Every structure is written in structure tokens, then in C-alpha cells.
């Protein structure tokens, strides 16, 4: 058995001297959309021209470590809209702040559709 030297060969510079990490707004947008799609009560919508389905869409704005998020979602009907939107706000804020370390300054939710839980008889 061989012994392994676990001591670092040199010390690391201070954190502020090592550089910065910038997370692009497109990444924040994807994190917000994925978090919104995981909330019970949200629905996927058929795209135009039969191109499949999509879930929530998000627009991100803001400066430095503060972001503003505008979500557009479809919900299942009947659903308690206030409850689902409250859950959306909590989940999206938690995920964005946890994964990106950005602070969610504002979160606007637009419910663009209420879709019945009953599947159509003919597709």
C-alpha cells in the first residue's frame, strides 16, 4: 500500500483574488422555467404547428446579483390559482437563489391558459 501526500503543494490566493463567476441570464431563465414546471398544477401547452409541447416561459432582467423574473404559465383547470401561483413564487425563488446565488428582487406571474384535466377525445 502506498501513502498519498494530501498536503497542497502551494496555498490558494484569497477568494477575492481568484476571479469572479458570472452566470448568464439564459441560465437563470432555464433554472426558473424548470422550477416552475415542477410545481403541481402547472400544465404543458401544445405549440403551434404541432411542434410538441412547452411548459413555463420566463424573461429575466436585472443588474448585478439582483434579478427580476416574469413567468408565463398555463395551469390545470380547475385549480386553486392563488395556491398554485404562491407555490410557483416560492419554488422559483428558492431554486434561482439556491442554484445561482442571485437574489430574486421581483417575480411576476402571468397565467396565460387554464387547461382542463380531461384529455380530448380525438387527437
pLDDT digits (tens, 9 = 90+) for 14-67: 877 877 778 899 999 999 999 999 999 999 887 666 667 889 999 999 988 899
**Residue appearing with cell numbers 419554488:** 91
> 27, 99 in Cβ contact below 8 A?
no
Model's pTM, two decimal places?
Answer: 0.77
**Which pLDDT band holds residue 79 (cuts at 50, 70, 90)?**
confident
Distance CA 92, CA 52 (A): 24
Q: How far, rounded to the nearest angstrom, does the alpha carbon of residue 120 sit from its chain's CA centroid? A: 29
Residue 4's pLDDT band (cuts 50, 70, 90): low
Closest CA to 41 of 2, 77, 91, 13: 77
Amino acid at each position: 500500500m502506498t501513502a498519498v501526500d494530501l498536503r497542497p503543494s502551494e496555498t490558494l490566493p484569497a477568494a477575492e483574488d481568484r476571479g469572479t463567476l458570472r452566470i448568464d441570464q439564459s441560465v437563470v431563465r432555464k433554472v426558473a422555467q424548470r422550477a416552475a414546471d415542477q410545481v403541481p398544477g402547472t400544465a404543458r401547452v401544445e405549440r403551434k404547428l404541432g411542434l410538441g409541447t412547452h411548459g413555463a416561459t420566463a424573461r429575466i432582467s436585472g443588474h448585478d446579483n439582483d434579478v427580476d423574473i416574469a413567468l408565463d404559465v398555463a395551469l390545470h383547470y380547475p385549480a386553486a390559482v392563488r395556491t398554485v401561483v404562491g407555490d410557483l413564487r416560492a419554488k422559483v425563488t428558492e431554486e434561482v437563489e439556491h442554484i445561482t446565488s442571485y437574489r430574486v428582487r421581483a417575480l411576476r406571474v402571468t397565467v396565460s391558459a387554464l387547461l382542463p384535466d380531461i384529455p380530448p377525445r380525438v387527437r
